[in-house]
Structure 1
């Protein structure tokens, strides 16, 4: 086994071994469980860093497979690793973010009764996601795709004894399964057509010299995109993601940065050659992602839960990634995924510091609890917000401009104009969040002096672990933006063509809209004496519409849930009344027949003789009438 292949296997084996060891043998030893899980991610990070260094040439990939399940007269199901610069970089991002979340969790989850179980689930999630990224074929991707869903379910519902997290976990699991049905059908069609589902073969078969017809490619692309839409919370299947905020905040940081919700985006990048052979599907994906980005931006404008604001922003930014991929640029889409992983994990961790301190997710409540005393949280929230809004020189500016440049070149004026509008809305709701959480005026807890009291805050060891993760990610927001050219050279795709400070008409328009969004947020929330209510919040109808997910959950409840409930009740009635009734009726008839015969079989000889004589007499009468006796 070569060095790179061994590194790819080791990156997956380490978190798997940690998960099994923790869940089987270390449930009662939380410190050992946390240490083992963290160590496994250190190993995985080192292995994926080695892959990034070794696999540095575009269009060169490594494949190592072994037959997993031979099938007579059918496809031999293989299991292995496949990695190129795209997979190597993604695996490094996954390992790095997961390790940062684990370090942060040492402080945030300290004292939780399920501390060891939590780290076991994190290790399970890391193994599933790394397995998905490094899979050699789509059947293997499907297995790890579902394992990612399982791990997400376990983490979102970690506090399962509470009703809200349990309900959120069920909703996430069920809504993503809707898309996964299409994903499964698409993979099975590919296996039937090719005899295997190796990623390189699938991409080659859809090319100009491939064996797939345009109709087949379009059909399979639509089915695979159903899985992408569910996993990456796009279109009508996005409503599970805001509810998933009921899980622990470090879990939110993990799910929203480089793992579960980015899995769909990564799959489109991984199979971009296949999807590009279905241009109508890609065009539809672009407009669906654009509509999702704008719709969820409006929802973020009225949300008061800081984690829900960040959840809506994640859905919106995933839309930008998919727009870039649909417009033809793997580099721009993946570049935005990479920078977003850093600043979104940072934002959730910074929010977690405030939540941990204030014991509330409500930004208006946090503002009364002396948020400025949480210096690491302030640094993380501000730097992450600058990156999310797309302000120079933070990472989000460069990746967002790469996306907008791609749209300008390939998507048309209308799509570009709406994407610019989304950039302005992003800046607005992001700084609305900043100024609601960290107000400029004196808003704080009432102290002994009767006014806004000063709070003496002494950080603990857990707080230092949280702060360390936040400060490292804050520094990265100033670095990651300069990796666009390096990433484009490695991926060998069309991508970032402008330098980091190249000011053309497009970047200037985007910067102007970002500045306008920040200025509007300052007027409404930041300046002293501001009303602290946005323009959408002052219109009750808009506030209700945006704040209730555009009434999509109500629509689903009134239609799909009601119809599904009625169907399940009808099935239950049929099962209990018709099927059980028939079988129970046969059983009851047998019982009653037996009872009647039991009365006849009384044990009296006189009765038996009387019955026999009666039967013989009846037989004689019947024979006489039939003329049987001559």
Structure 2
């Protein structure tokens, strides 16, 4: 199968090329067949590749394939070459499998959109770019996929560009992520300057020999790479673009949050783990950023009213858990949470999209309600997704992965009780707003009359994702019950094990605490939002709590803060500088041309005598010049 590696990203690329060039001339059934079929074929190849990898892992620990030499200079070379190890294989399977389900769902969801072909072409390119990112064996090719993901997010967030808010959201996402991308490319320059290569295996080998642990250079490189990951994964302080990215169609949101874009930062940090391990400062900053982000995003999700924005803030929070795990050195735990999160977050977005579609494009959860009996399949699958998000104990996949991160936040060598406490608080908040979401949307009085129910193309992917939202957690047994893990056993080939402190309380105690906190969060959500709760009524009537709610509702007012500190000063400075010397030079050139135009236009007065005279004068002038010379 190694020789067929190229087909995994090539098939989505082929789908993009066909649909972008000939999509207008194809039927909708053929468009959906090409768009979804290319991703399904990639997923099938990825699953066969995974089976072979698990049965007989390659001696080198990775499959490799060099397609062609990209460019070669005196000091820098880069190939279009692929490398698949245990880490990238996890991402490939998630990208293709969940991407295929989202494409199948989209075939019905986007059926009546006028730009059906453009949608599938952009989605195929999105998957291709993400696959290129995770399969690249050098950072130059990875950066190509990195920027391709950014481009596709821009195209899809602003897909319905006729609405001003949509293209503004696309611009916002594109500009903010460019901040992190700029830092990342500077980090790549420094890395090449120090090591003389951008091939990932060479970097991971040479880094420990070249850099001293904790040196300023390796810390700077790690922080620049971390900045790139923060931008793509919407972590503090570059998290403000993701809630607005909900302007795109629901399948786009599912793809961004579950299988592409926001997980790119997690992959980057995990892939370059050797560099981060050489910088304790960078590791600590990564953990702190993850912990703070998961808390502030969870608080904002708790008070949102738009169903998709609730899930968007939830994604920021869950990616924060992954960054927390990466920062304390719990590499496998971070990737395991990425694995389980992909299933239940794709499920939640697709189910939310179905609800929005059935309720005539209504997004406000408080205008929904009473949908439990009207749409049972969506209700049960959405509930399973929300339960996994809330980490319902011993049942859902989210419990197993989040529990690991909480344990390592305390016990790992880079862990700290404060990090654990923040993660635990985030678990309570997540359980609370997950319960709120289910109760408000599916219980109580019906406020909007549903339309037609979705067909099999939309409901079957929901059922499959619901199954994996439960079953995916069991590939990693609860670590306090049996320390045998199919997942960690293979990912350990690509990522180091976590070092634990000695002399801590048994893991079972911390697991019981996490279980209790999640159950208490679910109970709190039930008390607050089931029926006419007196506590909820007091919440609505208290001015102080309403002020806090409005503050959290606006995302802790980070947009207003950046507008005050960065945007307005920049506009003020550019306003002062709009007539500088350079501008005056260009203005003078333009003025001269305008005056010359007016001068020469006098000769164009429509008089034949004037034209003949001008011709004669010109002839005489030319003859005179020849005689003189």
Normalising by the smaller structure, the TM-score range is 0.7 to 0.9
Distance in 1 (CA, whole Å) between partners of 2:38 and 2:31 is: 11
SS state of the match for residue 429, structure 1?
helix
Q: What is the match of residue 608 of structure 2?
A: none
- Alignment check: 8 A CA contact 2:367 2:448 kept: no
Change (3 A) 1:365 1:589: closer
**Deviates further, 340-349 or 272-281:** 272-281
For the pair 1:54 / 2:46, whether they are aligned, the reply is: no
For the pair 1:404 / 2:410, whether they are aligned, the reply is: no
Q: What is the match of residue 254 of structure 2?
A: 253
Q: CA deviation at 1:491?
A: 1.2
Distance in 1 (CA, whole Å) between partners of 2:540 and 2:187 is: 42
Change (3 A) 1:94 1:577: closer
Distance in 2 (CA, whole Å) between partners of 1:537 and 1:244 is: 32
Select which of 490, 498, 510 maps to 1:506: 510
Q: CA deviation at 1:436?
A: 1.2
Distance in 1 (CA, whole Å) between partners of 2:29 and 2:194 is: 50
Select which of 538, 558, 581 maps to 2:587: 581
Q: What is the match of residue 489 of structure 2?
A: 489
SS state of the match for residue 78, structure 1?
strand
Q: What is the match of residue 7 of structure 1?
A: 4
Q: What is the match of residue 170 of structure 1?
A: 171
Q: CA deviation at 1:20?
A: 0.3
Q: CA deviation at 1:136?
A: 0.8
Distance in 2 (CA, whole Å) between partners of 1:505 and 1:219 is: 39
- Alignment check: 8 A CA contact 1:330 1:495 kept: yes
SS state of the match for residue 65, structure 2?
strand
**Deviates further, 386-395 or 49-58:** 49-58
Select which of 14, 18, 43 maps to 1:17: 14
Change (3 A) 1:495 1:378: farther
Distance in 2 (CA, whole Å) between partners of 1:305 and 1:561 is: 27
Q: What is the match of residue 128 of structure 2?
A: 127
SS state of the match for residue 81, structure 1?
strand
SS state of the match for residue 455, structure 2?
helix
Alpha-carbon displacement from aligned partner over 1:51-102 (angstroms, at most 9, x marks no partner): 2123334971233336634444221222200110111121011001110101
**Deviates further, 74-83 or 219-228:** 74-83
Q: CA deviation at 1:49?
A: 1.1
Distance in 2 (CA, whole Å) between partners of 1:541 and 1:121 is: 41
Distance in 1 (CA, whole Å) between partners of 2:335 and 2:242 is: 21
Select which of 442, 446, 454 maps to 1:443: 446
For the pair 1:552 / 2:558, whether they are aligned, the reply is: yes
Structure 1: gaps of 5 or more residues: 447-454, 596-602, 604-630
- Alignment check: 8 A CA contact 2:369 2:445 kept: no
Rg (Cα) greater in structure: 1
- Alignment check: 8 A CA contact 1:23 1:117 kept: yes
- Alignment check: 8 A CA contact 1:60 1:84 kept: yes
SS state of the match for residue 112, structure 1?
coil
Q: CA deviation at 1:366?
A: 1.7
- Alignment check: 8 A CA contact 2:329 2:498 kept: no
Q: What is the match of residue 610 of structure 2?
A: none
Matched residue count:
577
Alpha-carbon displacement from aligned partner over 1:340-367 (angstroms, at most 9, x marks no partner): 0000000111111110111211001122
Distance in 2 (CA, whole Å) between partners of 1:536 and 1:503 is: 40
Alpha-carbon displacement from aligned partner over 1:493-533 (angstroms, at most 9, x marks no partner): 43699xxxx97111111111111111111111024656656
For the pair 1:151 / 2:152, whether they are aligned, the reply is: yes
Distance in 1 (CA, whole Å) between partners of 2:581 and 2:20 is: 39
Change (3 A) 1:371 1:171: farther
Structure 2: gaps of 5 or more residues: 477-484, 501-505, 602-612, 614-629
Q: What is the match of residue 310 of structure 2?
A: 309
Select which of 23, 38, 41 maps to 2:39: 41
Select which of 561, 564, 575 maps to 1:569: 575
Q: CA deviation at 1:110?
A: 1.3
**Deviates further, 29-38 or 575-584:** 575-584
SS state of the match for residue 94, structure 2?
helix
SS state of the match for residue 64, structure 1?
strand
TM-score, with length taken from structure 2 = 0.87
Alpha-carbon displacement from aligned partner over 1:596-621 (angstroms, at most 9, x marks no partner): xxxxxxx9xxxxxxxxxxxxxxxxxx
Q: What is the match of residue 193 of structure 1?
A: 194
Change (3 A) 1:277 1:534: farther
Change (3 A) 1:443 1:588: closer
For the pair 1:464 / 2:456, whether they are aligned, the reply is: yes
CA RMSD of aligned residues (A): 2.6
Change (3 A) 1:209 1:589: closer
**Deviates further, 515-524 or 228-237:** 515-524
